């Protein structure tokens, strides 16, 4: 595995690979890698001879200083795991590589998808995601981009970003399913910050999502959302939302003839967890 910490040699390397007609798969991450991240890398390796994994904890997408300061950093372990799966390239830039002094903040036109759900509770979050993605896509120039369904709304936002920067035809976007622990909890770097007790409670989110999926055709949407919220609150979660939405637009569900997704964001102790399930 080749490790690049700066952009210039990475760009030269990518150019050489492209001249040799090698496809580039890209998996952006913020590190503290777990099996979910590694599954994205393995899928990329199956489809492209060159897979670039980036590790960059992007400050502009954090809306909570405590979350940014305490975001887990496990770089040596990350490198070991990437070596084990034979990842081709690791790009781990410092902040000045991504946001140099002359970096001009762009404002991305994302429509209503930016301000609903995560966008409502974390204003500016998706602009931050688009800033870092735009920079990384510019530097890495991938043919394939792999992202996880775990961050469903982020996937929809990045698809919208690709359209708005006219890369929807040159970059194939691939959303990979969420990897879960045995008890259903979606794997997440933030799970490392849960206490033992909180870790036992956390799978309740998946249980509620599964309950919604089971009854989506037989009970009213509002009732399913309310019941799930109440059950999570009863277990000690502070719930931001439990919502059943259209899979493409993320507007509120109207009928089961639409393709639907249920999404949850809830905080346990200090840790905010998100998860979702495709329903039909
Ligand atoms: P992060 O490091 O949290 O920014 O995540 C990097 C990528 O890994 C994103 O595309 C996430 O959606 C994806 N990812 C995170 N957790 C999982 C998971 N449990 N299963 C599959 N993909 C995941």
Average pLDDT score over residue span 179-183: 98
- Closest by alpha carbon to 259, among 216, 195, 205, 198? 216
pLDDT value for 51: 98
How far, in Å, from the CA of 34 to the mean position of ligand 1? 9
Atom of ligand 1 nearest to the CA of 189: 3
pLDDT value for 280: 92
pLDDT value for 149: 98
Is 37 noted as a catalytic residue in this protein?
A: yes
Q: Which of 30, 36, 41 to mutate to test the pocket of ligand 1 (most atoms within 8 A of CB)?
A: 36
Do residues 125 and 157 lie in contact, with contact meaning Cβ atoms separated by under 8 Å? no
Do residues 176 and 147 lie in contact, with contact meaning Cβ atoms separated by under 8 Å? yes
13: confidence class by pLDDT, cuts 50, 70, 90: very high
- The residue whose C-alpha atom lies closest to atom 7 belonging to ligand 1 is 29
Cα 38 from chain centroid?
13
**Ligand 1, CB within 6 Å, residue ranges:** 29-30, 36-37, 39-40, 147-148, 150-151, 176, 178-179, 186-189
pLDDT value for 250: 98
pLDDT digits (tens, 9 = 90+) for 119-165: 999 999 999 999 999 999 999 999 999 999 999 999 999 999 999 99
91: confidence class by pLDDT, cuts 50, 70, 90: very high
Q: Which of 28, 29, 144 to mutate to test the pocket of ligand 1 (most atoms within 8 A of CB)?
A: 29
Catalytic entry in 34, 37, 43, 125: 37
Average pLDDT, the chain: 97
112: confidence class by pLDDT, cuts 50, 70, 90: very high
Distance separating alpha carbons of residues 60 and 83, to the nearest angstrom: 29
HSE of 43 in the Cβ direction (CA atoms, 13 Å)? 19
272: confidence class by pLDDT, cuts 50, 70, 90: very high
Q: What is the DSSP letter of 243?
A: E
Atom of ligand 1 nearest to the CA of 37: 8
Average pLDDT score over residue span 249-275: 97
Average pLDDT score over residue span 39-64: 97
């Amino acid at each position: 595995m080749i490790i690049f910490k700066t952009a210039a040699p990475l760009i030269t390397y990518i150019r050489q690979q492209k001249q040799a007609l090698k496809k580039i798969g890209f998996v952006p991450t913020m590190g503290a890698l777990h099996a979910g991240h590694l599954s994205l890398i393995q899928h990329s390796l199956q489809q492209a001879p060159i897979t670039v994994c980036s590790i960059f904890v992007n400050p502009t997408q954090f809306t909570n200083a405590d979350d940014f300061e305490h975001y887990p950093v496990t770089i040596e372990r990350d490198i070991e795991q990437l070596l084990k799966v034979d990842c081709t390239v690791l790009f781990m830039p410092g902040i000045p590589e991504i946001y140099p002094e002359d970096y001009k903040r762009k404002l991305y036109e994302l429509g209503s998808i930016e301000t609903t759900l995560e966008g409502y509770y974390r204003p500016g979050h998706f602009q931050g995601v688009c800033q870092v993605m735009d920079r990384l896509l510019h530097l890495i120039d991938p043919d394939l981009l792999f992202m996880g369904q775990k961050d469903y709304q982020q996937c929809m936002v990045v698809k919208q970003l690709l359209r708005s920067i006219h890369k929807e035809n040159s970059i194939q976007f691939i959303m990979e399913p969420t990897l879960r622990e045995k008890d259903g909890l979606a794997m997440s770097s933030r799970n490392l910050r849960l206490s033992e007790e909180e870790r036992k409670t956390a799978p309740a989110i998946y249980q509620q999502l599964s309950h919604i999926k089971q009854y989506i055709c037989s009970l009213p949407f509002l009732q399913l959302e309310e019941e799930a919220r109440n059950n999570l609150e009863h277990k000690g979660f502070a719930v931001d939302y439990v919502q059943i939405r259209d899979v493409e637009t993320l507007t509120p569900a109207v009928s089961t003839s639409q393709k639907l997704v249920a999404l949850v964001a809830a905080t346990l102790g200090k840790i905010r967890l998100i998860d979702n399930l495709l329903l039909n």
